[in-house]
Amino acid sequence: MKKYRAVVAGCSAGGMQAVATLLAQLGTSFRLPLIIVQHLHREQGEYLFRFYSSSTHLKVQEASEREKILPGNVYVAPPDYHLLIEHDETFSLSVEEKVNFCRPSIDVLFESAADVYGPALAGVVLTGANSDGALGLKRIKDCGGLTLVQRPETAQFPEMPRSALLCVHADQVLTIEEIGRFLMTLKPEAAY
Amino acid sequence: MTSGELEAIEIDLLLEAVFRRYGYDFRSYARASVVRRLRLLLEQSGIASVGELIPKLLHEPAFFQELLFAFSITVSGMFRDPEFFRSLRENVVPLLKTYPFIRVWVAGCACGEEAYSLAILLKEEGLAAHSTIYATDINDQALAVAKEGIYPLRQVREYTENYQKSGPHDSFSRYYHASHDHIVMNRELKKSITFANHNLVSDHVFAEMHLILCRNVMIYFDRELKDRVLRLLDSSLIRGGFLCLGTKESLRFSCGDGRHDEIDSKNRIYRKRVLEAGEGRTR
């Protein structure tokens, strides 16, 4: 059976509720790191973590540079920085130009995660009103990773999942609750 | 061997080639960002693989300049993190005012947005006549943009919003004039900044500074290089001088605890102690 080392997820408009719903499906037995890029206004920061922490027992935190990525933790990209993953499985940040008018950009995270984790990565695209994440998800697929997309008609803003589906033949197209339950079935690598 | 592993070898060789040919050392840069930049450069130049870039880089200095531009992260924006600039006004400026003259260094200034922001702030705080701003970068192409002080008009709304949140005394539109699709910073501001080439990775201490801004520069360095550059910045700072880092930069002064005070931990403003720990104890 295929084993996994990390899950990356991206969302934009409607993302707060979507992530909270996803987190609510993840029990403490979830043993993968979940790394999220969400397009946010920088003011939303602190409220967001309180809100997410109230939906899950997993530890939810802002990803910080050079931090070691650990299983069972939920990381959210800081506003106004791209979030990337290094080969030693630590985070790095960048203030490079916006991608798809976004910083952080889902594509940037997904592409660097695909480089590091290859087939041991699962990528999730949720609700949003733009097309960020589509190319990144394609890269995950090309590197042998697992691709999941929220079923567009169940998304608050269907454009982002729709764009992803135009770009990638996704492995799973599910509701958020189903995605959460599916992630729970992923088998972590033995090192975790 | 996977294509990723192959690309990793090509990148190692390319960085080695650049270092030995031009003396610019990107080998200690955080890799994920280097990979991204190189892939963008490939896309732009229509070249198929990183390996093919190597002979071109070795034989065409002009192409190396393009790589250098691609590698310097040239986006920062004016008054990025307005709260930081507000804190600078409230917590640092009053102390800077106690000196007859101050020297300020914007290290890694890229296209100059941060340097102009600082020039505006110092002017509003009445420090313009008593200060010099040095703004340095490794990239001559970026420095040329900075000297011109020309920025796209579409950025102005964001700059103005940031400026307004930074505790200003005036209106941002006073500092530029718009023409066509860009803005040009005022001549007076330009004159207050000295732009120069300086390489944090290989060059030495710059001068005795009262204030150093090096924000979102070391996030691209690996740990060892970051420590080295931190020591360089620290040596360039007078005792009692201020060092400002990016708001998401983790600072553990590995070069000696007890030598710096946190002035504003959220906005990453540090002050080098006048007396080091242990000094002045024996009388």
Question: Mean pLDDT of all residues in chain B?
Answer: 90
Active-site choice (A105, A131, A132, A163): A132
pLDDT for the residue A40: 77
Residue pair A82/A93 in contact by the 8 Å Cβ criterion: yes
Chain A: nearest CA to B279, how far in angstroms?
A: 33
CA–CA distance, A28 with A113 (Å, rounded to integer): 23
Say which residue, B253 or B85, is predicted with more confidence. Answer: B85
Residue B209 has, within 13 A of its CA and on its CB side, a CA count of 25
Of chain B, the end-to-end C-alpha distance in Å amounts to 67
The pLDDT of residue B59 is above 80: yes
pLDDT band at A12 (very low <50, low <70, confident <90, very high): very high
Residues of A in contact with B30 (CB under 8 A): 84, 86, 92
Q: Do residue A94 and residue B73 have CB atoms under 8 angstroms apart?
A: yes
A89-124 pLDDT, tens digit each: 999 999 988 899 899 999 999 999 999 999 999 999
Question: Mean pLDDT of all residues in chain A?
Answer: 93
Closest CA to B226 of B205, B200, B208: B200
CA–CA distance, A4 with B127 (Å, rounded to integer): 57
pLDDT for the residue B17: 96
Q: Is A92 a catalytic residue?
A: no
The pLDDT of residue B171 is above 90: yes
Q: Cβ of B4 under 8 Å from any chain A Cβ?
A: yes
Closest CA to A177 of A16, A14, A25: A25
The pLDDT of residue B12 is above 80: yes
| B73 vs A95, A112, A118: nearest CB | A95
Q: Do residue A66 and residue B250 have CB atoms under 8 angstroms apart?
A: yes
Q: Is A169 a catalytic residue?
A: no
Q: Is A39 a catalytic residue?
A: yes
Residue pair A72/A183 in contact by the 8 Å Cβ criterion: no
pLDDT for the residue A169: 97
Say which residue, B180 or A158, is predicted with more confidence. Answer: A158
Mean pLDDT of B183-201: 94
Domain ranges of chain B: 3-71, 82-272
The pLDDT of residue B2 is above 90: no
Mean pLDDT of A161-174: 97
Chain B: nearest CA to A138, how far in angstroms?
A: 15
B97-144 pLDDT, tens digit each: 999 999 999 999 999 999 999 999 999 999 999 999 999 999 888 999
The pLDDT of residue B65 is above 60: yes
| pLDDT-above-90 percentage for chain B | 73
B213-245 pLDDT, tens digit each: 999 999 999 888 998 999 999 999 999 999 999
């890694």: which residue's tokens? B108
The pLDDT of residue A43 is above 80: no
Q: Cβ of B154 under 8 Å from any chain A Cβ?
A: no
CA–CA distance, B1 with B234 (Å, rounded to integer): 44
pLDDT band at B277 (very low <50, low <70, confident <90, very high): low
Is the complex ipTM more than 0.90? no
pLDDT for the residue B280: 57
Task: Give all domains of chain A, ordered by start, each with its CATH number.
Answer: 3-188 (3.40.50.180)
pLDDT band at B282 (very low <50, low <70, confident <90, very high): very low
Q: Which CATH superfamily is domain B82-272 in?
A: Vaccinia Virus protein VP39 (3.40.50.150)
* SS3 state of residue B220: helix
Q: Cβ of B251 under 8 Å from any chain A Cβ?
A: no
CA–CA distance, B225 with B66 (Å, rounded to integer): 24
pLDDT for the residue B275: 77
CA dihedral B133, B137, B140, B145 (to 10 degrees): -60
pLDDT for the residue A41: 67
Would residue B126 be called left, alpha or beta, if left means φ above 0 and alpha means ψ between -120 and 50 degrees?
Answer: left
CA B183 to chain centre: 22
